[in-house]
Structure 1
Amino acid sequence: MELGYWLAFAATAATLAAAGWVGWSAAEWLWFQPRRLERKLMAQGIRGSRYRLPYGDVKENENLVDEARRNPLPLSHSIVDRVVPHLTRVVDLYGGKNKVTFYWFGPSPRVIIMDPELVKDILSSKSGHFEKLRLTPIERLLSMGLFSYDGEKWAKRKRIINPAFHIEKLKMMMPLFSACCDELISRWEELVDSSGVFDIDICSEFQKFSADVISRTAFSSNYKEGRRIFELQKEQTELVFHTAENLYIPGSRFIPTQKNQRRNEIHREVTALLKSMIEQREHAIKNGEAKTDDLLWLLMESNRNAQEGDHMQDASLTTKDVIEECRMFYVAGQETTSVLLTWTMIVLSMHPNWQDQARNEVLQVFGQSKPTFEGLSQLKIVTMIFYEVLRLYPPGVTLLRHTYKEMKLGEFTFPPGVQLLLPIILLHHSREFWGEDTEEFNPERFSEGVSKATKNQLIFFPFGWGPRICIGQSFTMIEAKLALALILQRFSVELSPSYAHAPDNILTLQPQYGAQVILHKLHPL
């Protein structure tokens, strides 16, 4: 009887201790730590909103974004208040001359950095301790591969993946780029009516086109064969992004909600499809079949070289790692190019004089002949136009980093647990850095290159900057230049009366209601 009593007492005490530990941990996470961080930031003159348990500014920011999304804009490039109203509100309220302000994402202070020198320090190699924000378990279902890692794991993956994106490798992919462009143009030519005119949603067209390019260049398959992966990844992106906007509650992914179940179903299906493709490629390699020079083959070849060179298993990628990188090809490669081409067509429709200049340059360099790899580098006006579109409509509107230990940054000292937000779109639209015409489309500002346009300040970084600059930047620019050159040779474009100007941030900056334009078929000279 006495033994049973003490066992029951011990069990009760253990339960109470565990409950006490859980309660204290929750209190530390949701109250004591945020208040300490708030005091340390304000003591350094950094102004921001006051912390509110437990969501911080999440709910208020959601309301601001929802309100901004309700109505389209007049035709202009003044888009920041619609795309990031929560950021402009914080900067307006607490910024002033201070280029560092903060708000609360749940119990974490999110510091907005508007100082180009501090942005450069964060993104440069000397500040490697400012890490990527850790993904939640739900965000990891999107599997962004290289983009989601830090430290040695990131360095190892970059060493292996880099060779697949060298310029000579991209040059070998030109026939695949060209084949996808030809199919796009042929499809459009079949759609024209007797007057050579048709109304089309250019956004969905470029999504299909860029998915086709990724399918062929990554897996040597055409769009129809890669369609299932593309469609699933697109659905997963939307499911994950809307969750990422909210505070993640630990364990919530296990609740059998319809969205949780769908996210898991997509993850399993995409993993199975990619695993099958990788196993088929491994079988082909073992049988000595001819290589295809696609991204998957180059990745696996580089992976084998890394393993053989280091004679260490941890120097290579596992099948799971390769699957993650393949997911990255689809999400990053497809999204970035499609939105760049979409906004370029919208902007050229708004500014027909620049459309004419770009077309004249393309015809001067190529005539009616198919564009060549070498010729693309001669398209100065087209390059200027792309840079100005990327300035006004960057694919990614922010970058996030965080501190895992105390870090010195300029005159500030940030304790561990602080999130650092680099507002790409705010810096790209800043009147202070770009002048009074910052909201105007003026490709001439890039006529002497990016360095001259930015006065060597880090105020233009649509693909990131420093060691972690987007590995697929050249891939995207070559693909976009080739597609635009071919389109300008054969079509002119204007906005459809049904077009609604509504830039919206869903992982990348996209037109909320699509991009309806009218294409006019041109007759060769």
Structure 2
Amino acid sequence: MEVVMLVCFIGMVGMVMWVVFVYGIEWVKSQRVRRKLRMQGISGPPPSFLHGNLLEMHRINTASQAKVVHSSDHTHDFTESLFPYFEIWRKQYGLLYTYSTGIKQNLYMNSPELISEMNKLMTLDLGKPSHITNNLASLLGNGILRANGLSWSHQRKLIAPEFYMEKVKGMVDLMIESTQPLLTRWDKAIAAKLGSDDDDGNGTVEVEVDEDLRSLAADVISRVCFGHSYSKGIEVFSKLRLMQKKMSKHGTFLFGIKGLRDTLNNIWRGKENEIKIMEEEVESLIWELVEERKQECSEKPSSKKDLMQLLLEAAMSDDDSTSLPKDFAKQFIVDNCKNIYFAGHETVAITASWSLMLLATYPEWQDRVRKEVAQVFPNGIPNVDSLPLLKTLTMVIHEVLRLYPPGAFVSREVYKDTQIEKLLVPKGVVLWTLIPTIHRDPEVWGANANEFEPERFKDGVSKACKYPQAYVPFGLGPRLCVGKNFAMVQLKVVLALIVSRFRFSLSPSYKHAPAYRMIIEPRHGVHLLIHKI
């Protein structure tokens, strides 16, 4: 017995020594990379041996938890409360500095000139950081949002054409059709209020619009991309949303701040296993929808193919140059359905929610948009040819995306030494651009950078600020969001329909507290008081 215990003890000691040895080698490599950056004049917070700057980030983050941004300050600047370490280091080290997360070396890069140069790099040697993609594997699989290299390139070639403007124009009628149930539901709520004992005289009702807009956006993406309504995909959306919330609660997944103790606690409490179960359930549900779609396509062939049909054809093609290995085909379809389900509805819904919040806060802009919509669409129904005439609404959407971009970061891992302007970025470094910060830089946007001023976009994005490349709500470079056109058109359609039918203001129960849960969203929802015009 003693011999067995001795052997086990020696084995454990050996394993610990091996881990420390391997970690030490990686730490030395990391410090070598850090020295290369420092030799180019780039400084940053000094790292510790085991954690790099993670403990400091955790300490700063914990200290700022109590700070909440209130709408009464009219600045809409939430960066210091959500990403305090970046803001503290930016003020200390400038727009270009390096820091460490464990053995991973990072480069914070919020210089417009460097962002512009990075934007020009048409290379597969920059990709999504591996530690982020690993953390998001359960939610996104290996679809277009997570893939890198040739796999990403192949998927983008397949999916991007389905979101070109000519294709998106053909989706407008479906967008209008999907919005009607929401308008009807609000109409009925107002009518019920008018007939109730607590009627205030104008039928004003309180609505938490973000949940309604999620359902609407989910219905749109289901119809236009997968040929079925939200009712069929409701379980998929609800489970993906639940996975997103649980993964966000596990800690700051972007940087691994949760640490070993929190990871062990999650495993002990079954949270990791819970997410795995949900992942399997989502994939099973999606594959059921895929099988239904395959059956429908075989029974009723159509020349107009939706995105799911194209994914099926690409995966099952007999052409060796475009087809996928049969054992990979099913996962390819499921993963990209998960990506499009998640990204295609979540970001649009949140942007629409922030748009209504700001239009409620600034009623003069709500009136201007309403007047424009009435002029462009006298019958109250948008049409595809006149959407470009909505100049005021477009200005508002651009300003909403500037102040409340769904994505907080542009992040890229460098797979081999890469030259960006005069800067040589060593292999393995992760580049970070904090979008809310560059969207609020007074040097770029002027003294009113923290204020809601849609007028700044009156001459388009290119003339809205000093450096047009500093406006990146849809990302930048080769990985620019493929759904940009789809999102902009849908936002115009939905907001035009809502503004033309209802007048709204902020409810007293609304609490302005932006939160980061993979995207920037309202922590407590968006509560509005609405009444019919």
| TM-score of the aligned structures, taking structure 2 as reference length | 0.88
Q: How far off its partner does 1:109 sit?
A: 2.4
Per-residue CA distance 1:199-221 (angstroms, 9 max, x = gap): 11112221122122222223333
Partner residue of 1:166 out of 164, 167, 179: 164
Alignment-mate amino acid for residue 173 of structure 1: M
In 2, the alpha carbon distance for the partners of 1:248 and 1:497 equals 35
Partner residue of 2:292 out of 280, 296, 313: 280
Secondary structure of the corresponding residue to residue 243 of structure 2: helix
Q: Which moved more, 1:233-242 or 1:217-226?
A: 217-226
In 2, the alpha carbon distance for the partners of 1:43 and 1:242 equals 38
Residue of structure 2 equivalent to 1:179:
177
Q: How far off its partner does 1:457 sit?
A: 3.5
Whether contact under 8 Å (1:79, 1:503) holds in the other structure is yes
Partner residue of 1:33 out of 23, 29, 32: 29
Per-residue CA distance 1:188-245 (angstroms, 9 max, x = gap): 1111121221111112221122122222223333223221111100011122234414
State yes or no: 1:338 paired with 2:341.
no
In 2, the alpha carbon distance for the partners of 1:504 and 1:171 equals 33
Residue of structure 2 equivalent to 1:82:
81
Per-residue CA distance 1:49-92 (angstroms, 9 max, x = gap): 11113223333323434444434323222222123222111101
Q: Which moved more, 1:130-139 or 1:249-258?
A: 249-258
Q: Pairwise mapping of residues 312-461 of structure 1 onto structure 2 (< 5 A)?
A: 313=324, 318-461=329-472
Whether contact under 8 Å (1:160, 1:303) holds in the other structure is no
Q: How far off its partner does 1:520 sit?
A: 1.9
Whether contact under 8 Å (1:207, 1:338) holds in the other structure is yes
* Structure 1 unmatched ranges of 5 or more: 1-10
Whether contact under 8 Å (2:44, 2:99) holds in the other structure is yes
Partner residue of 2:109 out of 110, 113, 138: 113
Aligned residues: 508
Residues 1:69 and 1:18: Cα distance change in structure 2 (over 3 Å): closer
Whether contact under 8 Å (1:143, 1:324) holds in the other structure is yes
Q: How far off its partner does 1:130 sit?
A: 2.2
> Taking every aligned residue pair, what percent have the same amino acid on both sides?
29
In 2, the alpha carbon distance for the partners of 1:62 and 1:249 equals 10
Q: Which moved more, 1:390-399 or 1:124-133?
A: 124-133
In 2, the alpha carbon distance for the partners of 1:258 and 1:43 equals 46
RMSD: 2.8
Secondary structure of the corresponding residue to residue 373 of structure 1: coil
In 2, the alpha carbon distance for the partners of 1:331 and 1:249 equals 27
| TM-score of the aligned structures, taking structure 1 as reference length | 0.89
In 2, the alpha carbon distance for the partners of 1:449 and 1:73 equals 29
Alignment-mate amino acid for residue 228 of structure 1: E
In 1, the alpha carbon distance for the partners of 2:324 and 2:508 equals 59
Residues 1:163 and 1:405: Cα distance change in structure 2 (over 3 Å): closer
Whether contact under 8 Å (1:177, 1:479) holds in the other structure is yes
Partner residue of 1:271 out of 246, 271, 283: 283
Q: Pairwise mapping of residues 93-132 of structure 1 onto structure 2 (< 5 A)?
A: 93-95=92-94, 99-132=95-128
Residues 1:417 and 1:359: Cα distance change in structure 2 (over 3 Å): same
Partner residue of 1:213 out of 198, 216, 220: 220
Alignment-mate amino acid for residue 161 of structure 2: P
Alignment-mate amino acid for residue 449 of structure 1: G
State yes or no: 1:72 paired with 2:71.
no
Per-residue CA distance 1:86-129 (angstroms, 9 max, x = gap): 2111101111xxx3112222222221102112112223334542
In 1, the alpha carbon distance for the partners of 2:326 and 2:482 equals 20
Residues 1:292 and 1:72: Cα distance change in structure 2 (over 3 Å): farther
Partner residue of 1:297 out of 309, 328, 349: 309
Alignment-mate amino acid for residue 480 of structure 1: L
Per-residue CA distance 1:112-166 (angstroms, 9 max, x = gap): 1021121122233345422210145442111161121222111111111123223
Residue of structure 2 equivalent to 1:3:
none
Secondary structure of the corresponding residue to residue 511 of structure 2: coil
Whether contact under 8 Å (2:315, 2:323) holds in the other structure is no
Whether contact under 8 Å (1:82, 1:503) holds in the other structure is no
Partner residue of 1:142 out of 116, 139, 144: 139
Residue of structure 2 equivalent to 1:8:
none
In 1, the alpha carbon distance for the partners of 2:207 and 2:360 equals 13
In 1, the alpha carbon distance for the partners of 2:115 and 2:446 equals 20
Residues 1:482 and 1:12: Cα distance change in structure 2 (over 3 Å): closer
Per-residue CA distance 1:350-383 (angstroms, 9 max, x = gap): 1111111111000000023311111211101100
Q: Pairwise mapping of residues 448-487 of structure 1 onto structure 2 (< 5 A)?
A: 448-487=459-498
Alignment-mate amino acid for residue 409 of structure 2: T
